[in-house]
Amino acid sequence: LKEIDPDRTAFHFQPSKNWLNDPNGPMYYKGLFHLFYQYNPDGPLWGNMAWGHSVSTDLVNWEALDVALDRTDPFDINGVFSGSVTFVAGEPVILYTGIDDQQRNVQNIAFRKNGSDPLLREWSKSGYNPIMLPVGDIDPDNFRDPTTGWFGQDGHWRTAIGANLEGRAEILLYKSQNFKNWTRNEFPLHKSQSSGMWECPDFFPVSLSSKDGLDPSVNTGNIKHVLKVSLMKTLQDYYLVGKYDEKKDVFVPDEWYKDDYRTWPMIDYGHVYASKSFFDSKNNRRIFWSWVNESDSEADDVKRGWSGMQTFPRAIWLDTDGKQLIQWPIEDIKLLRKQQIQLRDFGLQSGVKHEISGILTSQADVEVEFELPSLEGAESFNNSFLLDPSKLCDEITPSDEGGIGPFGLFVLTSDVEGQEEYTAIYFRIYKSSDRYMTLMCSDLKSSSRREGVYKPAHGAFVGVDISKDKRISLRTLIDHSVVESFVGGGRTCMTMRVYPKHVLTGQTSGLYVFNHGSQEVKIRELNAWEMAKARVNIENDDFISR
Ligand code: FRU
């Protein structure tokens, strides 16, 4: 019998065992969703990189298939790294990075082997690999992660690849007429002096007038383009919104842009990396995943036999302001909602901590809307924190007595005396010379009494103007060792890993709303659902014969 693993999630994507990192080649094809991912078939730490593969009909329940791409040839013998899927003449084609027999990053192509297998289990690597080499000024150690291809008006395909050129980050653009012979474009799609190597680029069009997703080749109509990059330097994902100039094949970020990554919006202000999206043609939406790494020790990974997970799939679209992305857990999550608890028009006086009881809160979906009677008591803002909200969250605590806030949630709590644990997700409102600033913190400092756990505070200034209706919404998905939060309808997202100790001895976790500001805060409405367990990559599965 297997021991119970308290860190295992109920509805997040994880393989049944071993190491996972980046999402690779997500797609929808003939009734099935496919997710590939960076996978170590032999153990719970990074290494032996291959593409794991799972399929789903609803993006919630997943069935594991065999490894789709393993290290087999001189062009990928030292690793099958990240990549993407493109539909070429309706057929899915994989572009991926191989680490070749000379330890260089090279780009390769693979086609489905058996045209009649609906599960796309087997892939054949082309005999003409590698299709792109790190020649000239490209650093052979840093040339990887081809994006999904898109097709231009001139009848050429394009793909974009992260690269390092003499210390400069560039997203190189390659063009091809037949998806086989590729030539590097004169200009990179985009470049930066300030930020080190960019991994895992993602490049896609977004609509200015609807939440619908767009096929990657769309470049007409009321649209903009988004370039997402993963910065090796900070291990965070950032995005830029702008226009794609198809003639020159360059991305032109919006006017406010400057080459200083500290000013760029982040996909998630918590602990995620290497995100990737795809166009879900079944539901006309763009869907997004990110890798959520562990933040406890390697010894813990070895002990539990697995490491890493994906964020719950998020729909992603451009806000009506044309500036920021909105991410929201896909509606399909409602399949898992069970018992519900509701609070309405509930006053949270200064100093109050109120328990949300009656459901299992280690596996929950919580939506809450706070209202502030006035903004009068807001404390003044110290500008030195503008570029580093996490530092501010690190210096303050959720128990401080503030003006407006701290108020928010305590999740995964234990009240046992001497063994208290809590993770705080909270807000505090400040006033700067010309505006109100809403600080959001996810504070892990008291989240775990286990040894060797990294327990930072993450912070962000929320992308909503609180002075408009004095309301702020928070949605939090709690799933044992991962907590994902979405503020202002998904304008600011924050994900972190939590490893409470109290669950190891079988104690259940608590959930609270609290207010430690001097001013009362109102809960207009709170809905919390206990969540069912999804079927995620359960071993010895009978899906294929069913
Ligand atoms: C990002 C990354 C990619 C690479 C892969 C290797 O996490 O470093 O650049 O393709 O992981 O596993």
Place of tokens 């605590």: 397
C-alpha of residue 344 to centroid of ligand 1, in Å: 45
Q: What is the rounded distance in angstroms from the CA atom of residue 227 to the CA atom of residue 244? A: 10
Show Cβ contacts of residue 271 under 8 Å, excluding neighbours closer than 6 positions. 292, 293, 295, 458, 495, 496, 497
Predicted local confidence at residue 115, as pLDDT = 84
**Ligand 1 atom closest to 81 (CA):** 10
CA torsion through residues 4, 6, 10, 12, sign:
negative
Beta bridge partners of 473: 369
- DSSP string covering 81-137, please? EEEEEEEETTEEEEEEEEE-TTS-EEEEEEEES-TT-TT---EEE-TT--SB---TT
pTM above 0.90, yes or no: yes
Residue 64's alpha-carbon distances to 70, 73, 157, in angstroms, are 16, 24, 32
CA torsion through residues 190, 239, 296, 446, sign:
positive
Between the two ends of the chain, the Cα-to-Cα distance in Å is: 26
Residue 56: closest CA among 301, 278, 337, 292: 278
Greatest CA separation for the chain: 69
> Domains in the chain and their CATH numbers?
18-329 (2.115.10.20), 337-531 (2.60.120.560)
Which residues are near ligand 1 (CB < 6 Å)? 21-22, 38, 49, 81-82, 97, 144-145, 199-200, 273-274
C-alpha of residue 108 to centroid of ligand 1, in Å: 15
> Given ligand 1 and candidates 82, 164, 237, 271, which is best to mutate, with the most ligand atoms within 8 Å of its CB?
82
pLDDT in tens, the chain (546 residues): 456 799 999 999 999 999 999 999 999 999 999 999 999 999 999 999 999 999 999 999 999 999 999 999 999 999 999 999 999 999 999 999 999 999 999 999 999 998 889 999 999 999 999 999 999 999 999 999 999 999 999 999 999 999 999 989 999 999 999 999 999 999 999 999 988 999 999 999 999 999 999 999 999 999 999 999 999 999 999 999 999 999 999 999 999 999 999 999 999 999 999 999 999 999 999 999 999 999 999 999 999 999 999 999 999 999 999 999 999 999 999 999 999 999 999 999 999 999 999 999 999 999 999 999 999 999 999 999 999 999 999 999 999 999 999 999 999 999 999 899 999 999 999 999 989 999 999 999 999 999 999 999 999 999 899 999 999 999 999 999 999 999 999 999 999 999 999 999 999 999 999 999 999 999 999 999 999 999 999 875 444 432
Show Cβ contacts of residue 194 under 8 Å, excluding neighbours closer than 6 positions. 259, 260, 261
CA torsion through residues 357, 358, 362, 368, sign:
negative
Interface confidence, given as ipTM, is 0.98
Place of tokens 């018992």: 339
Residue 131: closest CA among 92, 202, 184, 171: 184
Predicted local confidence at residue 2, as pLDDT = 54
Q: What is the rounded distance in angstroms from the CA atom of residue 263 to the CA atom of residue 1? A: 51
Predicted local confidence at residue 544, as pLDDT = 40
Residue nearest to atom 12 of ligand 1 (CA): 81
Residue 13 φ/ψ, nearest 5 degrees: -75, 120
**Ligand 1 atom closest to 291 (CA):** 7
**Catalytic positions, written as ranges:** 22
DSSP code of 468? H
**Tokens of residue 169, six digits:** 């980050």
**Ligand 1 atom closest to 97 (CA):** 10
3-class secondary structure, 245: strand
Predicted local confidence at residue 154, as pLDDT = 96
**Tokens of residue 486, six digits:** 């979405």
- DSSP string covering 187-203, please? S-SEEESSS-PEEEEEE
Predicted local confidence at residue 116, as pLDDT = 87
**Tokens of residue 177, six digits:** 């007429």
121 C-beta neighbours (distance < 10 Å), count: 16
C-alpha of residue 493 to centroid of ligand 1, in Å: 22
Beta bridge partners of 106: 98
Contact 369, 536 (CB under 8 A): no
What residue type is 381 in one-letter code?
F
**Ligand 1 atom closest to 83 (CA):** 10
> Given ligand 1 and candidates 81, 141, 292, 307, which is best to mutate, with the most ligand atoms within 8 Å of its CB?
81
Q: What is the rounded distance in angstroms from the CA atom of residue 441 to the CA atom of residue 462? A: 10
Q: What is the rounded distance in angstroms from the CA atom of residue 541 to the CA atom of residue 546? A: 10
Contact 440, 455 (CB under 8 A): no
Dihedral (Cα; 146, 150, 156, 158), 10-degree rounding: -20
Q: What is the rounded distance in angstroms from the CA atom of residue 484 to the CA atom of residue 272? A: 10
Residue 51's alpha-carbon distances to 8, 140, 147, 540, in angstroms, are 21, 21, 16, 19
Q: For the purposes of burial, counting CB atoms within 10 Å of the CB of 209, is it exposed (0-12), middle (13-18) or buried (19 or more)?
A: exposed
Show Cβ contacts of residue 320 under 8 Å, excluding neighbours closer than 6 positions. none
**Tokens of residue 470, six digits:** 């004095």
Tell me, rounded to whole angstroms, the distance of Cα 212 from its chain centroid: 19
Q: Can you list the pairs that 407-410 forms with residues at least 24 positions away whose Cβ atoms lie under 8 Å?
A: 407/348, 407/370, 407/513, 407/514, 407/515, 407/516, 407/517, 407/521, 408/474, 408/513, 408/514, 409/366, 409/368, 409/474, 409/476, 409/511, 409/512, 409/513, 409/514, 410/353, 410/510, 410/511, 410/512, 410/514
